[in-house]
Amino acid sequence: MDRSLYVGMTGASQILQAQAVQAQNLANVSTMGFRADLYSFEATPVVGPGFATRVNAVAQNSGFSAATGMLSQTGAPLDVAIRGEGWLAVQAKDGSEAYTRAGDMHMTPDGLLVTATGLPVLGDGGPISIPPSDNVVVGTDGTITVIPQGVGPKGAGPVGRLKLVNPPVAQLLKGADGLMRQKNGLPAAADATVQVESGTLESSNVNAPRALVEMIELSRLFDMQTRLMNSTDQNEQAAQKLLAPN
pLDDT tens by residue, 27-47: 999 999 999 999 888 877 777
Residue 83 has pLDDT above 60, yes or no: yes
What mean pLDDT do residues 37-66 have?
80
What mean pLDDT do residues 134-157 have?
86
Q: Give the strand pairing for 37-45 and 55-64.
A: antiparallel
Per-domain residue ranges of the chain? 4-66+206-243, 71-202
Residue 45: phi and psi, rounded to 5, are -60, 145
For 176-221, write each residue's pLDDT tens digit: 899 999 999 999 999 999 999 999 999 999 999 999 999 999 999 8
Confidence of residue 2 (pLDDT cuts 50, 70, 90): low
Residue positions counted in the chain: 246
- CB within 8 Å of 103: residues ≥ 6 apart: 32, 33, 79, 80, 81, 82, 88, 196, 200, 201, 202
List the single range of 82-86, 187-191, 228-232 with lowest mean pLDDT: 228-232
CB 34 within 8 A of CB 104: no
The whole-number pLDDT of residue 3 equals: 65
The whole-number pLDDT of residue 212 equals: 93
Query: Percent of the chain at pLDDT above 90?
Result: 63
* pTM over 0.85, yes/no: no
